[in-house]
Amino acid sequence: MSRTATYEDANLILRLYEMRREDRMRAARAWFVASCHVRSPEELLALAPPGSEANASFRMVTSYWEMVASFITRGVLDPELFFQSGQEIVLVWERIKDLVPISRANNKGPHLFRNLETVANDFIAYWEAHSPGFYKCFSERVRTLPLPKPEPAPTETA
């Protein structure tokens, strides 16, 4: 599956990690994990309309992980070394995978998020080979829509 990892691979992973720690990217990732539970382009448009901070966050997170995936698919970064610490890429794929076929068709872009899809599927195969059943649990957890927020407790008036 992979070539022998090098110090350059490790350095690239560390650099990618540093990029994820940048303040705006950290905020975008936090928003994505907490809020991006969409299944259709209409839901995405309602959640993250063009020009909004949410839209910028969505684009920042998805384009970042597509870039990282391109390093793996092009052979720049050792996949197995990445798979040992980069599971957030699968979370992102799980959250957008329902949107991708529609976006590809609507935009006549058959390669839209192709690197992300390829690496996520390879990552899932890696998990299944090393921890059978883990992916199913992971997927169910990250694809579950958030529960409705409970109503505030009524306050007693005297």
Please state, in angstroms and rounded to a whole number, the distance separating the CA atoms of residues 37 and 33. 8
CA end-to-end span of the chain, whole Å? 69
Render pLDDT for 24-70 as a digit per residue (tens, 0 to 9). Answer: 999 999 999 999 999 999 999 999 999 999 999 999 999 999 999 99
Compute and round to an integer the Cα radius of gyration of the chain: 18
Asked if 113 and 62 touch (Cβ cutoff 8 Å), the reply is yes
pTM over 0.75: yes
C-alpha count within 13 angstroms, C-beta hemisphere, residue 48:
20
- pLDDT, residue 149, reads 54
